[in-house]
Amino acid sequence: MLNDLSKIAKQTNSFLKKYLNKQKYSGLIYPMSYGLFPGGKKIRSKILVDIGKIFNVNNEHLIIIGAAVECIHAYSLIHDDLPCMDNDLTRRGKPSMHVKFDEATAVLAGNSLLALAFEILSNKKLKIKEKTKNILIEKLSKCAGHAGIAGGQFLDLDYEKKNIPFKKIIDMQLKKTGKLFEYCSSVPAIIKNSNDKKIKTFEAIGSDLGLLFQISDDLIDYKGDSKKVGKKTKKDNKLGKATLISLLGYKKTVIYSEKLREKIQKKIMKYGQRSKNLSETINYILERSK
């Protein structure tokens, strides 16, 4: 298990619990909590914190931004499981949101988590410069929308049971999964007011990390240890999903993922000891699929 992943997960959950407790009561608070807790690994927050270490960013800020990202991520999983999307009955080791409640509740709790993410980012608890905050809010909106996660999911569904070429599969995965990783990887550079070149460098590292994570997720689905991931596996093949495995086969996909890992490790090597945690996270992402 990765060094401080569970510590980051605890800090993120603790922030989110306190934040939800302070909300005015509504019938959606319970379903929203169901979608957030105990929650998943918090790998996106971990990447924020790891890269925050390279830039020496205040951890408290990163936990709050990570909490916002985790709300969007939780939302995407709730909608991903809906019958009109991937129709999954289990998530994070328990019944999916629409199974536990109903479809309308899953749609509305998901939407509420998306809104909550932006409420958290714009809240005064996040004590960073207003100008930086605006940049972070604008960037996260773009990552979540049609050019990001929602657009990627649209392609994922559109590509089912079709022969999709390599470039299009990668583009879809970079949107569906890569965009949130890209976001998390660039936040520390943005907070430190780095130049565009540096921000772009870390966005590219994030895209690669997201792609690596998605490929690893696909490999796990292919190998099929459902206990390990808390959701049904061997689903991609049944649904006719366009993945690197469906295009290249299992072995070639493993080779591709190993090369991608090497590429990212090389890129971060120059940060020396400060990138040690990130380097461990990169290895963890791929080791999970073995």
153 forms part of the interface with ligand GRG (CB under 6 A): yes
The CA angle 211-140-81, to the nearest 5 degrees, is: 60
41 forms part of the interface with ligand GRG (CB under 6 A): yes
Task: Return d(Cα 179, Cα 185) in angstroms, integer.
Answer: 10
Residue-wise DSSP of 86-102: T--SEETTEE-HHHHS-
55 forms part of the interface with ligand GRG (CB under 6 A): no
Can you state the percent helix, strand and coil of the chain, rounding each to 5? 75, 0, 25
Non-local CB neighbours of 38 within 8 Å, separated by 6+ positions: 13, 92
- Residue 28 C-beta: closest distance to ligand GRG, Å: 17
Non-local CB neighbours of 25 within 8 Å, separated by 6+ positions: none
80 forms part of the interface with ligand GRG (CB under 6 A): yes
- Of 176, 179, 241, 261, the one binding ligand GRG by CB under 6 A: 176
- Residue 272 C-beta: closest distance to ligand GRG, Å: 28
Question: Please, which residue, 9 or 62, has the CB nearer to ligand GRG?
Answer: 9
CA distances from 160 to 2, 86, 170 (A): 34, 11, 15
Site for ligand GRG in 199-228 (CB under 6 A): 214, 217
- Residue 72 C-beta: closest distance to ligand GRG, Å: 5
79 forms part of the interface with ligand GRG (CB under 6 A): yes
User: Taking the mean position of all CA atoms in its chain, how far away is CA 133?
Assistant: 20
121 forms part of the interface with ligand GRG (CB under 6 A): no
Buried b (16+ CB within 10 A) or exposed e, 156-187: beebeeeebeeeebbbbbbbbbbbbbbbbbbb
Here the tokens at position 116 are: 């909550």
288 forms part of the interface with ligand GRG (CB under 6 A): no
Question: Please, which residue, 271 or 284, has the CB nearer to ligand GRG?
Answer: 284
- Residue 188 C-beta: closest distance to ligand GRG, Å: 20
5 forms part of the interface with ligand GRG (CB under 6 A): no
Question: Please, which residue, 133 or 288, has the CB nearer to ligand GRG?
Answer: 288
Q: Which positions lie near ligand GRG, rule CB under 6 A? A: 40-41, 43, 72-73, 75-77, 79-80, 85, 92, 144, 149-150, 153, 176-177, 214, 217
